[in-house]
């Protein structure tokens, strides 16, 4: 997913939601005014105070955690949803065949076991005994088949359909409206067995089954609820560690431990109150006022809490980078690109303006922790492929570039209008002007307009970002193949395309990584199509009564199943 620089209000999540929203059009069936759901606000009067709200301390030794979410929770239908807030809710109240553990490794969840064929194309899952929905019905392989088909079906799919349709055989055809559900590689020969046939050997497929789009849904329940499905706490079935007892998209979600969960013995927190708070200053105020037990910090505040025992820095699989539009006359000049890539000091940016809360992008496009071959990370395996900061060399490259262009160009940096993005662009402007002697203009656009401009190629260079959809380098590198949907720099290189295509079909993991290593080098070192600036880390404050937290670096962030805490006194 494309990454947005953090803003003070609803921030990066909103963006994801926006991208979905485009696909969400799909769902606009004849839903008229009838049965207008007031998003759970009904019956509460004006004030939203429920049983769980506010400072729910004490409670007879119950372990209560008060959480906030920085955006609305717009869609709890697992087959259509796309925003991080909804993902975070769903991963706690539902569960797929596998679940990511604390180290991002997939571990059996609804499935107890899987058999993978020798060609790595067929996965046969066996469902765990005794797994059931919150209405008492058993979770069956038919539920998975139903949900997966719904997630791909263009009539019912959401924008994240690709995360399933790109991998399952027959998926791309069905998703584009040409194929049929009957040709999908999903079979449920009996209640306990699910067979999935893939298009390519996909080494990270088990991890994908932990993703919300792969969660099961019970056909009978979904059809009974009709339009009301997933609109309120009562119109959703739960098979995860928690049940939702209260839900209002605009203000709150309340989780209670699910006693019917197969692994309930390992679930520690009893109640989690999630409140929607969009303003980061308000979040901090609430944290200092003990109303919430978790807060996210940005910029200056990271520095202010540097010595606080509550501070924790959490890795994210994200990369923020400068991308150069190959179709732009100035940026088509390789010397200019080389100059810019060497012309700004990433470490200084990370250490000052980001207050050390991130990792400078001095190594590669793929973030440091993304998995590589065997036990290695991809970064360890492929080493550094980014030109070092070198003002002197940069200036030389730049002058060479200017000579080739025949005249001094005006560089134009397209940026978003969020506060962090504005800081980033001002830093880059100042650095490039100073180090290259170039003239740099900043153009800021609201996020949607920004995406529109980069997509259509109406820019020279842009400060963009991307976050992983799964734990594999291809989630980044696939972007830049010639016909890639998000290939905003309009990069086209036969060798690159071939390497990425080979990586897709290669069954040997090691060889696959070799191809991608080669590809990344072409992208950053040989052609300098982009220049990674930094990989973001989340800086968060967590109240000390919480003993253990698990925050995933991509997909659903907050997985409370693994959290441990003391009861508040």
Partner 1 sequence: MLRYTARRLVIAVFTLFIIATVTFFIMQLLPGTPFNDEKLSDEAKAQLEAKYGLDDPLVVQYARYMANMAQGDFGNSFYYNNTPVLGILLGRFPVSAFLGFQAMVVGVFVGMALGIVGALKHNTFWDSTATVVAVLGISIPSFVLGPLMQYWVGVKLGWLPIAFFDSWKHSIMPSIALSVFVIAIIARFMRTEMLEVLAQDYITLAKAKGLSALGVVLRHAVRNSLIPVITVIFPLVVGLVTGSLVIEQIFAIPGIGELFVTSIVVSDYFMIMGTTVFFAVLFVVALLIQDIAYGIIDPRIRVSGGKE
Partner 2 sequence: METGRRATLTPEMFEPVGMDAQEGERIAGPPSNFWRDAWRRLKRNKVALFGLVSIVFVIAAAYVGPLISGYGPYAQDLSVRLQGSSSEHWFGTDSFGRDLFTRVWQGTQISLYIAFLAAFIDIAIGIGYGAISAYYGGWIDSVMQRIIEILVGIPNLVVVILVMIILQPGILTITFALVITGWVGMARLVRGQVMQLKEEEFFLAARSLGAGTGRLIWKHLIPNIVAIAIINLMFTIPNAIFFEAFLSFIGLGITVPQASLGSLVSDGYKFLQGDSYLLWFPAGVLCLLMISFNLLADGLRDALDPRMKK
Number of Cβ within a 10 Å radius of residue 112: 15
Measure the CA–CA gap between 144 and 26, rounded to whole angstroms: 21
**Hey, which residues between 486 and 505 contact partner 1 (CB under 8 A)?**
486
Q: At what angle do helices 334-342 and 391-405 cross, to 10 degrees?
A: 160
CB proximity list for 406: less than 8 A, separation 6 or greater = none
Of 465, 481, 338, nearest to 400 by C-alpha is: 338
Of 508, 498, 535, 203, nearest to 366 by C-alpha is: 535
Measure the CA–CA gap between 365 and 348, rounded to whole angstroms: 19
Measure the CA–CA gap between 110 and 52, rounded to whole angstroms: 29
389 lies in the site for partner 2, by CB under 8 A: no
Which residue's CB is nearer to partner 2, number 280 or number 530?
Answer: 280
| Site track 221-260 with partner 1 (rule: CB under 8 A), x = hit | ---------xx----------------xxxx---------
Q: Two tokens at 80? A: 């259509």
Q: Which of partner 2, partner 1, none sits in contact with 514, Cβ below 5 to 8 A by type?
A: none
**Hey, which residues between 257 and 316 contact partner 1 (CB under 8 A)?**
275-279, 281-282, 285-286, 288-289, 291
Selected from 3, 6, 64, 76, the binder of partner 1 by CB under 8 A is: 76
Q: Which of partner 2, partner 1, none sits in contact with 427, Cβ below 5 to 8 A by type?
A: partner 2
Of 355, 349, 358, nearest to 300 by C-alpha is: 355
CB proximity list for 259: less than 8 A, separation 6 or greater = none
Question: H or E segment at 321?
Answer: strand 318-324
335 lies in the site for partner 1, by CB under 8 A: no
**Hey, which residues between 430 and 469 contact partner 1 (CB under 8 A)?**
445-449, 451-453, 455
Selected from 304, 439, 510, 511, the binder of partner 2 by CB under 8 A is: 304
Selected from 422, 498, 504, 543, the binder of partner 2 by CB under 8 A is: 422
427 lies in the site for partner 2, by CB under 8 A: yes
Q: Which of partner 1, partner 2, none sits in contact with 132, Cβ below 5 to 8 A by type?
A: none
298 lies in the site for partner 2, by CB under 8 A: yes
Instruction: Determine the size of the site formed for partner 2 (CB under 8 A).
Output: 31
Beta bridge partners of 565: 546
Selected from 102, 120, 162, 368, the binder of partner 1 by CB under 8 A is: 162
- Least distance CB 347 / partner 2 (angstroms): 11
* Contact window for partner 2 (CB under 8 A) among 265-273, 295-303, 404-412, 508-516: 295-303
Q: Which of partner 2, partner 1, none sits in contact with 375, Cβ below 5 to 8 A by type?
A: none
**Hey, which residues between 275 and 294 contact partner 2 (CB under 8 A)?**
280-281, 284
549 lies in the site for partner 1, by CB under 8 A: no
Measure the CA–CA gap between 491 and 415, rounded to whole angstroms: 20
Q: What is the CA radius of gyration of the chain?
A: 24
Q: What is the distance, to the nearest Å, from the Cα of residue 312 to the centroid of all Cα atoms in its chain?
A: 20
Which residue's CB is nearer to partner 1, number 97 or number 249?
Answer: 249
* Contact window for partner 1 (CB under 8 A) among 70-78, 144-152, 367-375, 427-435: 70-78
Measure the CA–CA gap between 109 and 100, rounded to whole angstroms: 9
Q: Which of partner 2, partner 1, none sits in contact with 231, Cβ below 5 to 8 A by type?
A: partner 1
Q: Which of partner 2, partner 1, none sits in contact with 304, Cβ below 5 to 8 A by type?
A: partner 2
Measure the CA–CA gap between 508 and 357, rounded to whole angstroms: 36
**Hey, which residues between 114 and 153 contact partner 1 (CB under 8 A)?**
none
417 lies in the site for partner 2, by CB under 8 A: yes
Between CA 261 and CA 269, with CA 264 as vertex, the angle to 5 degrees is 120
- Least distance CB 329 / partner 1 (angstroms): 24
Per the listing, tokens 């830093």 go with 427
Q: Taken in order 27, 32, 33, 34, is the CA torsion positive or negative?
A: negative
* Contact window for partner 2 (CB under 8 A) among 134-142, 220-228, 414-422, 502-510: 414-422
404 lies in the site for partner 1, by CB under 8 A: no
Measure the CA–CA gap between 425 and 418, rounded to whole angstroms: 11
Cα 177 to Cα 77, 152, 155, 565, distances in angstroms? 22, 10, 9, 48
Selected from 63, 342, 445, 568, the binder of partner 2 by CB under 8 A is: 445
Selected from 102, 105, 423, 455, the binder of partner 2 by CB under 8 A is: 423
Q: Which of partner 1, partner 2, none sits in contact with 57, Cβ below 5 to 8 A by type?
A: none
DSSP conformational letter for 289 = T
Which residue's CB is nearer to partner 1, number 27 or number 351?
Answer: 27
419 lies in the site for partner 1, by CB under 8 A: no
DSSP conformational letter for 138 = B
- Least distance CB 540 / partner 1 (angstroms): 18
**Hey, which residues between 470 and 489 contact partner 1 (CB under 8 A)?**
485-486
Of 408, 404, 405, 394, nearest to 337 by C-alpha is: 394
Number of Cβ within a 10 Å radius of residue 81: 27
Of 464, 213, 436, 449, nearest to 340 by C-alpha is: 436
Bridge-based pairing of strands 318-324 and 461-467 is antiparallel
Query: Using CB atoms within 10 A of its CB, is residue 70 exposed (0-12), middle (13-18) or buried (19+)?
Result: buried
| Site track 18-57 with partner 1 (rule: CB under 8 A), x = hit | xxxxxxxxxxx--xxx--xxxx-xx---xxxxx--xx---
Q: Which of partner 2, partner 1, none sits in contact with 230, Cβ below 5 to 8 A by type?
A: partner 1
- Least distance CB 428 / partner 2 (angstroms): 11
Beta bridge partners of 272: 65, 255
338 lies in the site for partner 2, by CB under 8 A: no
Which residue's CB is nearer to partner 2, number 86 or number 416?
Answer: 416
Of 530, 517, 536, nearest to 474 by C-alpha is: 517
* Contact window for partner 2 (CB under 8 A) among 47-55, 299-307, 456-464, 476-484: 299-307
9 lies in the site for partner 2, by CB under 8 A: yes
Query: By the criterion CB under 8 A, which residues form the site for partner 2?
Result: 7-9, 280-281, 284, 298-301, 303-304, 348, 352-353, 417-419, 422-423, 425-427, 429-430, 442-446, 449
């Amino acid at each position: 997913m494309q990454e947005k620089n953090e803003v003070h209000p609803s921030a990066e999540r909103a963006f994801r939601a926006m991208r979905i929203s485009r696909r969400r059009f799909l769902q606009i069936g004849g839903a008229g005014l009838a049965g207008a759901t007031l998003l759970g606000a009904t019956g509460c009067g004006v004030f939203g105070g429920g049983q769980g709200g506010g400072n729910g301390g004490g409670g007879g030794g119950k372990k209560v955690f008060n959480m906030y979410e920085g955006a609305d929770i717009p869609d709890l239908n697992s087959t259509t949803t796309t925003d991080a807030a909804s993902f975070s809710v769903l991963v706690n109240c539902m569960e797929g065949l596998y679940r990511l553990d604390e180290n991002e490794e997939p571990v059996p969840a609804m499935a107890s076991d899987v058999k993978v064929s020798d060609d790595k194309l067929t996965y046969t899952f066996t469902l765990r005994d005794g797994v059931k929905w919150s209405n008492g019905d058993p979770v069956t392989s038919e539920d998975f088949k139903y949900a997966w088909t719904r997630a791909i079906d263009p009539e019912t799919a959401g924008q994240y359909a690709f995360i399933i349709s790109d991998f399952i055989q027959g998926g791309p055809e069905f998703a584009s409206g040409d194929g049929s559900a009957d040709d999908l590689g999903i079979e449920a020969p009996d209640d306990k067995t699910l067979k999935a046939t893939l298009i390519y050997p996909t080494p990270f497929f088990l991890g994908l089954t932990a993703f919300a789009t792969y969660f099961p849904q019970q056909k009978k329940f979904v059809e009974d609820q009709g339009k009301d499905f997933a609109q309120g706490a009562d119109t959703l079935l739960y098979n995860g560690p928690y049940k939702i007892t209260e839900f209002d998209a605009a203000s709150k979600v309340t989780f209670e431990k699910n006693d019917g969960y197969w692994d309930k013995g390992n679930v520690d927190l009893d109640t989690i109150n999630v409140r929607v708070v969009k303003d980061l200053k308000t979040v901090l105020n609430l944290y200092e006022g003990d109303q919430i037990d978790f807060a996210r910090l940005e910029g200056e505040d990271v520095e202010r809490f540097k010595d606080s025992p509550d501070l924790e820095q959490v890795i994210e699989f994200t990369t923020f980078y400068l991308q150069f539009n190959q179709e732009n006359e100035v940026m088509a000049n390789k010397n200019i690109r080389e100059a810019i890539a060497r012309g700004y000091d990433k470490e200084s940016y990370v250490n000052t303006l980001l207050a050390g809360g991130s990792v400078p992008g001095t190594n590669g496009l793929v973030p440091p922790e993304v998995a590589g071959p065997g036990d290695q990370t991809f970064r360890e395996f492929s080493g550094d492929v980014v030109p070092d900061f070198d003002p002197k060399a940069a200036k030389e490259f730049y002058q060479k570039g200017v000579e080739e262009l025949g005249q001094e160009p005006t560089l134009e940096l397209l940026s978003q209008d969020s506060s962090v993005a504005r800081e980033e662009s001002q830093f880059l402007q100042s650095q490039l002007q100073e180090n290259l002697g170039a003239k740099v203009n900043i153009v800021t656009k609201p996020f949607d307009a920004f995406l529109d401009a980069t997509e259509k190629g109406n820019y020279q260079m842009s400060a963009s970002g991307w976050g992983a959809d799964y734990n594999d380098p291809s989630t980044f590198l696939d972007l830049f193949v010639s016909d890639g949907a998000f290939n905003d720099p309009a990069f086209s290189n036969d060798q690159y395309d071939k390497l990425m295509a080979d990586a897709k079909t290669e069954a040997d993991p090691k060889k696959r990584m070799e191809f991608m290593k080669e590809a990344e080098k072409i992208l950053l070192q040989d052609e300098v199509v982009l220049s990674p600036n930094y990989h973001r880390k989340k800086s968060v404050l967590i109240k000390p009564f919480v003993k253990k937290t698990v925050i995933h670096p991509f997909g659903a962030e907050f997985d409370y199943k693994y959290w441990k805490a003391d009861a508040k006194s």
